[in-house]
Chain A
Amino acid sequence: MEKSVYERPDGRKIDELRKIKIVPSVLTRADGSAYIEWGQNKAIVGVFGPREALPQHIQNPTKALVNYVYRMATFSVPERKSAKPGRREIEISKVSGEALESAIFVERFANATIDIYAYLFDSNAGTRCAALTAASVALADAGIPMRDLVPACAVGRANGQLIVDPCKEEEDAEDAVDMPMAILPRNKEVVLLQMDGLLSLEEWKKAFHLGLNGCMQVYEIQKKAIKEKYESIEKEDKKAIEALNEEMECLESEGQNSAEGDYVEG
């Protein structure tokens, strides 16, 4: 199948993602945040919470609510888009929120809500995947306990060829199929899977595996983005480990110390 020489408009291989750049902690007022550049897609995600859910009647005493808000800026598409959230944005907010909810330990935060705001500033197909990928980095940045990160990636078909991460041009092909998916990489659990277009069962199976591989690539990028922040510091100073030791001791003796140690009058 791969022998048919299919040329992608941007010269990528069929299983090659666009260039992804993730920067955690970009907003100061949010509890956690991340900026993502996925090809031409650009998004900022801010996480607030867990905090009290209001009005009170929406609270759930067994778990936290995950309020995911996906919005595209009016200038993110060639033709000015209405600022009012449309059907599409509301749907994406719902499915992405549910995908993240399965990764977060929601049962720890009763009556609370975790607000996640994902804003797209520039788009070129695959924005829901980009926003979801950044959202899980932002959640990790906020220190919210999670079972796993949630990498997302789209697969599709254009001109009879299955491809990973289709761009806008490919998405507009005659026989185009678009299948965004998100997984928990640890056990390959699928938390988001949508599809528009038609695929035969054989094709779908192939597409699914391509998608899994794509997600795993995204996962590696996510991990790297989070760790880079700390590992660069470690490289900077060989004594990092020494410092950590010190910190551990502090943590251990915290129980006794916090009582007298910090309660000193000047």
Chain B
Amino acid sequence: MEYKVVVPGELISESRLKLGQHVFIENGKIYAETVGIARTDKGIARVVALQGRYIPKIGDLVIGVVVSEEYSVYAVDVNSFYYSFIPKEEIRVLLRKGNIISAKVSKINEINEISLTNVRVLYGGEILLVEPTKVPRIIGKNASMIKLLQNSTRCSIIVGMNGILWAKGTEQGIELLKKALDKIERESHLGNLTLKIQKMLSEKPSSE
């Protein structure tokens, strides 16, 4: 299996395959539409995007900021293409402009507008931003990475699939977390990332 970095418009396959994410078909040939890594296994042609905004999926947990209150809905900025909405009749808590919330994506329409449910207000803590395409690496295989981060920084962390992280902990813990996230983002292509982070986090206290 070979992995190839492709740019928009680059040919992925000329054979008949199912279309996965970030590809389009023209005259029977399959092309990439974003920068990413092309894969054609399991009969599916797809591109794993390396850059890009959060594309919502039903069931995703996202973190956002309440930006305005309308008559029947709250508008929330979740770092996607549009503001997403929470119908007031569906929630019991009162939200205010500026509240940080975590919620689940319940509905997506054809232009990627989102409705949210399961709203929880997050008090205190800090908001950290990461690339949405790198969120899978931050969670890790079977959530190994996120568990490691939680245990070694002693922060409670919630990862939104939209690339917004909420963390609450001591000042040192947050600092350490920021450094670790930086490293993950920068080296998200390289192998054994969990091990490297583990090493980095265990080294830190002794050096300080």
Chain A residues near B (Cβ < 8 Å): 31-32, 50-52, 103, 105, 108-112, 140-149, 184-186, 222-223, 226-227, 230-231, 233-234, 236-237, 239-244, 246-251, 253-255, 257-266
Contacts and interface: CB of A to CB of B under 8 A. Distances in A.
A265 B166 CA distance: 11
Interface in B56-102: 57, 59-61, 81-83, 102
B139 A223 contact: no
Closest 7 A/B residue pairs (Cβ): A143-B52, A266-B156, A239-B191, A148-B9, A261-B143, A250-B136, A143-B51
Contacts of B7: 140, 149, 222-223, 226-227
Contacts of B83: 52
A141 B156 CA distance: 32
B8 A261 contact: no
Nearest to B8: A146
A34 to B, nearest CB: 12
Contacts of A255: 57, 59
A265 to B, nearest CB: 6
A240 to B, nearest CB: 5
A259 B9 contact: no
B96 to A, nearest CB: 22
Interface in B134-162: 136-137, 139-143, 146-147, 150, 154-159, 161
B48 interface: yes
A248 B39 contact: yes
Contact of A259 (B35, B59, B81): B59
B51 to A, nearest CB: 4
Best-surrounded residue of A103, A236, A249, A261 (most CB of chain B within 10 A): A261
B192 A247 contact: no
Contact of B37 (A31, A103, A244, A259): A244
B59 A143 contact: no
Q: How would you classify the secondary structure of chain B's contact residues: helix, strand, loop or mixed?
A: loop
A231 B5 contact: yes
Nearest to A260: B143
B114 to A, nearest CB: 14
B8 A264 contact: no
B107 interface: no
Contacts of B188: 243, 247
B157 A143 contact: no
A191 to B, nearest CB: 12
Best-surrounded residue of B5, B24, B147 (most CB of chain A within 10 A): B5
B189 A240 contact: yes
Contacts of A259: 59, 61
A230 B189 contact: yes
Given A147-B8, A255-B57, A262-B139, 12 more contacts: A52-B82, A109-B112, A145-B34, A146-B34, A231-B5, A234-B189, A240-B191, A243-B188, A250-B141, A258-B60, A265-B156, A266-B169
A147 B37 contact: no
A141 B81 contact: no
Contacts of A110: 111
Contacts of B136: 247, 250-251, 254
A147 B53 contact: no
26 contacts: A140-B7, A141-B35, A142-B53, A143-B51, A143-B53, A145-B24, A146-B33, A146-B34, A147-B31, A147-B33, A184-B9, A227-B7, A243-B192, A244-B189, A248-B48, A250-B140, A261-B146, A262-B139, A262-B146, A262-B158, A263-B61, A263-B158, A264-B147, A264-B150, A265-B156, A266-B156
